[in-house]
Structure 1
């Protein structure tokens, strides 16, 4: 006979979001008893339009998070004693070209326990809209920089292509996160305004005036060089949390 354990699950996430942005789904599970569930398993469908996935699990009241996987959906073993609880965050970046609905569905099971909770599964749907402007990165070159002394490192040169979705965009901003000690190459001259150069972990650049507009069907390319501490720390050069936004007149 399978012992009962009441393990309700709740899932929450944004109702609306824009393509290209990062979103987080939060799943909470708990065990209300009467029996422990040492072999509980949380599973969830992950929309294929989400990439660069991050998974965190915070356990409370004696619960223990196992090693989770996000390949072919979320699979996370949890030791869930009576009174135990776990909060799981699943974060991903929405495909910049996607427009429509994303649905994330979660389910908690146990091979040795019968889940008596009414809510042993749940789902949340997010409506995805295309933003007014999107940005697409391409690496066009990389090389070691040996001078000047205070700007040594590994340079990766990017072309960031801005595209307007439906209407002309006059004022825009590009932002992304960088690794520690990474910054915009001080040896590169820029026509755009640098609001944050990366020294605080993020880069933000904006249009300098109203002449660099983006017309639908006519993209605008922005050349950006990043100076990484070393080729190893540059990795494959992926720009984390890259996004473009239309801003009001400064």
Structure 2
């Protein structure tokens, strides 16, 4: 299959090693500024995908991210942040990376080239047609992701993708593709840069919009967040004080009694 692999095309800059630190930083920043504009163009695709994700999760399904390298790590990060931020179970949003958890910290040789491993990884979670799987691949050619998406398509499990190459195999295989064309990287082929930033922005949009649609935000506050450290406990107390117009002591008592902001507000009686 032939397509324009923009993520691998030559940087618009050359002789990087001869640039001053100031020029390096200014030019990287110049390229980075194009990313949110590219994401903006993909909002119609993101919206369609989010509607489907919400529909699946309302049926009791789960959201899976599959990817390799930077793409896989970004999926794992987004999935791991959903429970503390929105109070959902740890098996509601699941990030899978080629090579397993070891690959989060160090590259696992040839892991992304295994076309059948994603199927094995997904089957370990008894994946079914209520779930939704998003393949993340900057190039749109990662065998691990392609194999996982094909397995899902064959089993009536809806699929999405986040990629940076129009017409790539991943974009064509996913039923709900998101394509963010950010152009060549500052360092040729280093898709951890603009492509990675684009993927992070899109993942933020998907998980945040989905969780708001599922009712895990009230007003603009994370009322279901897990109070796992002093900072979050203090934030929760402040939220309760402002919402109920009660004293610090009363808000503290409510949080200690009910364990989170939503329950504290719901069970408050004057």
TM surpasses 0.5: no
Instruction: Name the TM-score, length of structure 2 as normaliser.
Output: 0.26
Give the structure with the higher percent helix. Answer: 2
Q: Which one has the largest radius of gyration?
A: 1
Does 1 or 2 have the higher relative contact order (CA < 8 Å, sep 6+)? 2
Give the structure with the higher percent strand. Answer: 1
